[in-house]
Amino acid sequence: MENKIILNSTELTGIMNRDEMNKLSLVIEEKKWNDYRKKYDEAANLKLLSFPIQIDFELNSSCNLKCPMCPISAESPKGKGKSTWFDFELYKKIIDYSYNEGTRAIKLNYVNEPLIRKDIIKFIKYAQSVGILDIYLSTNGMLLNQKISDELIDSGLTRLQISIDAVSEETYQKVRPGGKLKTVIANLQNFLELKKKKNKIIPLTRVNFVKTSLNEIELDEFISYWSNKVDMIGVQEFVKPTKVKNSSIISKKTIKKKNFKCSFPFKQLVITNEKKILPCCTFWGEELPLSILKSPEDLKIAWNNEKMRNLRQTHLNGDYQSIEQCKNCVQGGLS
Ligand SMILES: C[S@@+](CC[C@H](N)C(=O)[O-])C[C@H]1O[C@@H](n2cnc3c(N)ncnc32)[C@H](O)[C@@H]1O
Ligand code: SF4
Ligand code: SF4
């Protein structure tokens, strides 16, 4: 794997081997793939699309770990059980509408653990049947057992991201309490073997590492360990959480990036389990709600509403620091 982390001035995550994404063109019709990537790149370059190219869904509001850098751990257990699970019938309507309006990618998580929902496979299969090209999710990997691995590989999921953040069990316990590094590695290895056995290109796999003062010493070893095992490695700069219990993990890196212009509000909308429509998928998006979704058409209204227009214009002006939430998000999020 090319030992280079690419981080441009409109994004918050550096990806090693980003070009591996193009392997998806082997399983998706060429023209459709090219059109999707063209639109995605336009949005990444802050061009306004008529509708988000990507929609993220928070299908459940719960997590099995208590990572100190993540806001869900500050209120864990979130106290919201199955009653707040995202309704499949509403999801289907949103997918149908969004596909017709131009959406081609979906992510099936926000600040939650998506594999808690054992019925996630039907959400993936439905999106694929409608024509969504890129369907992905991020998981902590603790629930990635043989059964769900088998189903995920056959579901049409295009990308699976596994957040690991450590190479030693000792560091893992500090950054991902509630989990077990040994289990996550065994689960991922099993997933990779199964995929190989089935001779499948997708789901492409990516392991993630969020840099904090607790684990950054293990980053180089993490990269060497995973380089030839997975398709990509994501190295995320620490984003200051909206809620924290333990402030000692705040990254030392709080240098402001003056020319940062965020591309999230040009690419995507996020729908939470409470049906809040957000302009971006970092925690700070929750502090910038656009509206509440009552019907799929509300997505188009939110995409063009005044809050969203102002947010985009402020970033285009290079003035993100004038928005408190963006300032908090970016400070500590870039160096
Ligand atoms: C909030 S998690 C939700 C999905 C899943 N539970 C997981 O851990 O991958 C999504 C991503 O956000 C990352 N993350 C958590 N806290 C972060 C922080 N303070 N700064 C940057 N990324 C963070 C996680 O490591 C993960 O890669
Ligand atoms: S980072 Fe993921 S696994 Fe960790 S607490 Fe947040 S949602 Fe849960
Ligand atoms: S809070 Fe602002 S800077 Fe952060 S991802 Fe959202 S729009 Fe971008």
pLDDT tens track for 92-121: 999 999 999 999 999 999 999 999 999 999
Please give the number of the atom of ligand 2 that sits closest to the Cα of 140. Answer: 3
- Number of separate helices (H) and strands (E) present in the chain: 11, 11
- Per-residue confidence (pLDDT) for residue 25, from 0 to 100: 87
Q: Please check the confidence at residue 124 and state whether its pLDDT lies above 70.
A: yes
Whether 162 is in the pocket of ligand 2, judged by its Cβ within 6 Å, is no
- Per-residue confidence (pLDDT) for residue 6, from 0 to 100: 43
Sequence-distant (6+) residues with CB within 8 A of 179 are 64, 65, 140, 141, 142, 172
For the chain, percent of residues with pLDDT exceeding 90: 74
Best CA proximity match to 49, nearest among 57, 60, 41: 41
Whether 333 is in the pocket of ligand 3, judged by its Cβ within 6 Å, is no
pLDDT digits (tens, 9 = 90+) for 224-261: 999 999 999 999 888 888 876 555 555 555 445 678 89
Round to whole Å and give the CA distance between 161 and 305: 32
- Per-residue confidence (pLDDT) for residue 79, from 0 to 100: 52
Centre of ligand 2 from the C-alpha of residue 188, in Å: 17
Centre of ligand 1 from the C-alpha of residue 100, in Å: 30
- Per-residue confidence (pLDDT) for residue 7, from 0 to 100: 47
**Model confidence band, residue 83 (pLDDT cutoffs 50, 70, 90):** confident
pLDDT digits (tens, 9 = 90+) for 21-38: 888 988 998 899 999 999
Structure pTM?
A: 0.93
Round to whole Å and give the CA distance between 103 and 55: 7
